[in-house]
Structure 1
C-alpha cells in the first residue's frame, strides 16, 4: 500500500522530473500564483541585456516578460492587465458571443477545442465546443454537471470553469442560431430548392412534420439539411400539412424557390402536395411549370412491392422467426445448432439474425441466413422434439425463390438510401433491374412466382409513369449515358410497337423543359448569328443590289441540348470516382442553360430517407427522461444536430447507434 501511495504521490509533485519538465522550454516551471491569479501560468526564462543574463517570468498566454517576485505579487498584478485573463473573465455576461462564434467556428476542426488562435486557452471557445458536442451526440444538458466530465476537463486544463446545465442550454441556442444564419445565407444564393418530408408521432403523442431541403450549392455539391421539425396541429388533414410546410418555408424565406416535394404514398400527403401546388401556381412561382412537383418516395414504393412478395410466404417466415428465437433463448441450443451445421460442412461464420417485421430488408436478411442453414434446421428438428418450427421442403423452395427475387430490390434500396452517389442519374438503370425481375416472374411458367408477382407488377405499373420520366431525364443528363440508357432500358421493358412512342414521350418532355429554361433566361434557342448590322444610311435609295449586300447573313444555330446530345459520350464508364456534378461544373460555360437545368434536376430527391432518419434522432432526444422538452427545443436540437454533423469533417455516431452496430440483431454461430 505504501508503495502504491508513493507512486501516485510522486506523479503530482514537482520533484517528479518527467512530469515537471514536459511543458517548459527552460525546464524550470514555476508554481501557479494563488488568489485571483490562480488561473495565470508563467515560466522562468533567461534574457540578455548588454551582455548580461537575467532571469524573468514570462506569461504563457500573452508572452509578456516581467521581473520575478518570490511572493508572486508581480504575477498577481500582471493578471489584472493580461489581455488573455481579461478575455477569460469576459464582458458578455457569461454567454457565448454569437458574432465571434460565427467567425471563429467555420468548421469544427479549425482550431483545437478550447484554444484561441494565439494558443491560449479560451473558455468561450471551449463552451462552444461543449454545446456542439451536446447537440451532435444528443446528450442531456445535465451532462456538463456530471462529476467525471468535469474532472476530465479539469485534468486536461486547470483553467476550465464549470458551467451549469442552464448555461449550456443557452449556449446551445446561440450555437444553433449561428448555424441557422449560415444556412440562410447559403439558401439566398440558390435558385431552386427541392423538399422531402415525412410525419412522425413521438412518445408525447405529438405529431411532427420533418422537412428537409435538397439543393446544389455554388460549388456544385449536393446539400441536404433539415429545415423544420414542427408540430402538426390537429386535424392532420392534407390542408393542415400544407399550411405547416408553407409556414416553415416562409420562416426560411424560400417559399418562392420550391421546385419539387417528395412525400410518402398517403392520401393526406397527396392532398397536401396538390394544395401547395395550387398556391405556388397562383403566385406564378411554380418551377418546371408543375411537371414534377409531387415526387413519390421510391424507397416507400419498393417497400410496398417487396412486402407483397414476402406476404406470399408468411407461414414460412413465422416458422423461421420463431425458430431463431428458440435458438437465441439458450446458449446450449445455439452451440448444438452450431455443431449440427459443422457436421454438414456449413460455414458457421455467417450469423443467424432475427428481423424487424416492419423492415422488409431485415426480413430478407433473416430469410437468407436461414436458407444458408437449411440442412442444419432440418437435422436439428430430428434431434430436438421440442423444435416445431422447421419449414417444409416446399416452403424452403419458395423462400429461396423469394430471396432471389428480392435481392435486386435490396441493391436498389441501398442506392436510394445511400450517400456515396447521391444524384439520380443511376436510378433508371437500377429501377430497370427491379422491373425486369418482376416482369420475368410475371411471365414465368412457375405458378408460385406468377401468382406472387401479380400484385407487385400492378403496383409497379401504377407508380412507374410518375417517376419514370424524371429518372429518364436525369440519366440523359449524365454525359456518359445520354440517350443510350433510355434506349437500353426501354427496349427491354416495352414491346416493339410501344418503344418509339415511349422514348418519344421522354425526349419531347426533355425538349419542352429545356425550352422553358431557355425562355426563363431570355435566351432564344433559335437565334441567328449576324455578320453585321445593315448600313441603310449610306445606301443610295435606288441601288437595290447594294441593299441586298448590306443584309445580315442568317445561319441556323443549334440549341445547347442538340449540341450536347450530338457530342460523343464521355468515356468515364469504368471510373468509379466520376462525379457528374463536377462534370457539369466544368462545362457550364459551354452549356449555360442546360447546366442550370441539370443542377436543378439532380437536386431532386427520390426518397424521404433523410427525413425518416431525423425521426430516429427525435426518438433519442425525446426519450422517457426528456419527454418534457418543449417542441421548440426539440426542433432546435434536431435541426441543429443535422447542421453540425453535416459541417463536421468526420462521421459522428451517437451512443445508441454504436450499441446497435455492436449488437446488430445477430448472434454468431459458435
Structure 2
C-alpha cells in the first residue's frame, strides 16, 4: 500500500505538505493530503528518504520516532552546538532526479575533497567491472540503493562488517522481485478487469526477437482512460514465444504461437481469455500479427509511413527514375558511415537526421575535407538537392513524432494529419522543379490514400471525438455522412447494452497535446458554430447536434471531455472507448531495447519470469 501512496504523490493525486504541529516530528515528516479535496490521507512521508508511514487520526508518533532518519538527525542536532534551536525544514520535491539530494542537504558534516575522490574512484571501477554506462550511477534506482546502504552504514557505525553481509544474494533478490511482481500485478489486474469488460481498454502487441540467442518474446501493453480523464499506459506482460526464422512458410505457425502464449498469460493473470476480444490493438503490419489478432487490430501508423517511404526510396526504383538522388544518398552514406542506402527504407528517420546534420554543417565539413585532401566523398553532394530531400522528409518526421507521444491521446490525430500530409506533399509536388523529386513525391501521394492505407473505422470515429475538429471540415459531404453513420451506429449499440458499468478507475498522470504541424493549415479546418435549431428527433440526435456546436477552448482533449462529459454522457463514453487507442505500437516497441539490454547482460540465463517482472515493475515505477 505504501508504494501505491508514493506513486499517487509522484503523479500529483496526493501531495505532501508541511504542518505546524506541537511535536518535533513534523520537522522531519510531512502530512499527505488529497490534491483535489485537501482532505487528509492516513499516511505521512519522511522528508529525507520518502518512506511512507501509516499515521491516521489519533495515532501515536512513537512509531515515527523509531525511523532511522529521525533518530540520526535528532542525534546530530543534539551533538552539534552550532545548530539553531529551531531547524528549518527542507521542502523536498518528489522526483527521480532529486532522490539523492535530501541527504546532502540535511548533512551536518561537510563532505571532504578526499571523500569525493574516493566515491568518484569507486564509481569508475563500478562501471568498468560491471560494464555499465557512466550514467548508471545517476539513475534513481542506483541512488535509492546507495542511500539505503549509507543509512545501514550509519546504523552499524564502527562495527566491523563486510558488504557481503549486507547485500542479498541474487536468488534472494529474484525471489523478492517475483513476490513484489505478483502482489503489484494482482492489484493492477483487479483494477484493469472491469475496464476491459466495458470495452474501454486498448493495447499494443509486438514480437521482439534476439536472433543471437534465438529467443522471441511477445510484449503486451494496455492503455485506458481513468476516472480523472488521464491516459494510463502500462506493460501488462512479457512472455516468450517459440523462436522461428522469419519466412512466409512459418508465419501462420508464428501467429498460432503468439495467440497461444498470450492466452496462457491471461490464464496466469486470472483474466478470462474472451476478454482479449474486447481489447483494440495497435500493431505492425506483419502477417503474423494480422492472423493472430484478426479483426481486433488497427495498423501502427508510423509503420504505414515507413512503408510509404520504403516504396519511395526503393533502390531499384531510384536507379531508374531518380539516379541523382540515389547517388547523393550513397555519398552521404560514405561521408557519415551511419546508414546504407538499403537501410534508408527501414530506418528513414536515421537517414533524415544524418542528412539534416550534413546540411547544418555543410560548409564546415567541406572545409575540413579540403584541408585533409579527402574530398572524393563530398564532391557531388548537391546542396540544393540535399535541401529538397530534407524538405520532403520533414513532414513525415513531424507527423511521426506527433503520433508517437504516449502520455496523451493520438488516435484522433490520424485522419486529419494524414489529410494535411497529403496537402503538404501536393504543394511540394506543384512547386518542385526537379523531375526526380517530383517522381518521389508523386509515388508517395499515390500510396497515402490507396486501398492499403485507407483510414480505419477507428480513426474516423476518433477524429469525430476531437472537439476542435469535430465538424470534420476537411472531409467532403459523403465522407462526413459516413462518419456520422458510424457514430450513430456505435451510440445505438451502446444504448442497447444495459450492462454498461460506470467509469470509475484508478488515477494517473496526464499531459497536454501539442501539434508540430503548421497551425495555418490546421486552422482552416477548425469548427464553425451555429445556434441549434429545430427540436431534435431523439436523445442521440440531440447530443450529436449539441456536441457539433459546442465551443472548444481546451488545448487538452481529455480535459475537455472531463469538463463536458456530463453534457454528452453517451459521447463521453465513446470517447473513453476510442481515445485510449494508441495511433502507433511504439509503447511495446520501446520495451525492446530494455529487454535486449537485460538479455545481453545476463547472456541466455535470464529467466523469462524475471524479465516479465522487471519490465512490469519498471513500467509501473516510471
Residue of structure 1 aligned with 2:168, choices 159, 164, 169: 164
Residue of structure 2 equivalent to 1:436 = 423
Give the CA deviation at 1:296: 0.2
Inter-partner Cα distance in structure 2 for 1:322 and 1:106 = 61
Per-residue Cα deviation, 1:90-122 (whole angstroms, up to 9, x for no partner): xxxxxxxxxxxxxx9999999935574543566
Q: Is 1:447 paired with 2:445? A: no
User: Shift in Å at residue 403 of structure 1?
Assistant: 0.7
Q: CA RMSD in A?
A: 4.1
474, 478, 481: which is aligned to 1:504? 481
Other-structure match for 1:478: 466
Correspondences of 1:631-642 after superposition (within 5 Å): 631-642=608-619
Shift of the 472–151 alpha-carbon distance from structure 1 to 2, 3 Å rule, reads: closer
- Counterparts of 1:536-575 in structure 2, within 5 Å, are 557-567=537-547, 569-573=549-553, 575=554
Distance of aligned partners of 1:156 and 1:586 in 2 relative to their CA distance in 1, 3 Å threshold: farther
Give the stretch that moved more between structures: 420-429 or 176-185: 420-429
1:591–1:572 distance in 2 versus 1, CA, 3 Å: closer
2:193 to 180, 188, 195: 188
Closer, same or farther: CA 572–148 of 1 in aligned 2, 3 Å: closer
CA distance in 1, matches of 2:479, 2:263: 36
CA 158–464 in structure 1, closer or farther in 2 if over 3 Å, else same: farther
**CA 1:297/1:158 → structure 2, altered by over 3 Å: closer, same or farther?**
same
Match of 1:304 in 2: 307
Counterpart of 1:152 in structure 2 is: 150
Pair 1:243 & 2:243 matched = no
Distance verdict in 2 for CA 1:113–1:188, change over 3 Å: same
Cα deviation for residue 449 of structure 1 reads: 2.3
Task: Select 2:219's aligned residue among 207, 210, 218.
Answer: 210
The residue matched to 2:64 in structure 1 has which SS? coil
Deviation of 1:200 (Å): 0.8
Provide, for residues 7-37 of structure 1, a one-character-per-residue CA deviation record: whole Å limited to 9, x for no partner: xxxxxxxxxxxxxxxxxxxxxxxxxxxxxxx
Q: Trace 1:532-611 onto structure 2 (pairs within 5 A).
A: 557-567=537-547, 569-573=549-553, 575=554, 578-611=555-588
* Structure 2 residues without counterparts, runs of 5 or longer: 1-24, 26-40, 55-62, 69-98, 101-134, 158-162, 245-252, 319-324, 501-534
Contact 1:588-1:595 at 8 Å conserved across structures = yes
Q: Deviations over 1:350-382 (max 9, x none)?
A: xxxxx9995322321211121223344445554
What does residue 330 of structure 2 align with? 318
> Hey, what does 2:73 align to over in structure 1?
none
Aligned partners of 1:479 and 1:325: how far apart in 2? Answer: 46
Does the CA contact (< 8 Å) of 1:196 and 1:263 recur in 2? yes
Matched, 1:397 2:384: yes
Unpaired runs of 5+ residues, structure 1, are 1-59, 61-103, 124-131, 278-292, 327-354, 491-498, 524-554, 646-670
CA 1:148–1:593: 2 relative to 1, 3 Å: closer
SS at match of 2:466: coil
Secondary structure in structure 2 of the residue aligned to 1:237: helix
Structure 1 residue 237, shift from structure 2 partner: 2.1
Q: Secondary structure at the match of 2:166?
A: coil
1:419 aligned to 402, 406, 431, which one?
406
What corresponds to 1:175 in structure 2?
180
Query: How many pairs align?
Result: 442
Deviation string 1:157-211 (CA, Å, 9 cap, x unpaired) is 4489824123222222222222102211211331222121111113422010111
SS in 2 for 1:209: strand
Does residue 261 in structure 1 map to residue 278 in structure 2? Answer: no
Q: Distance in 2 between matches of 1:478 and 1:107?
A: 41
SS at match of 1:480: helix
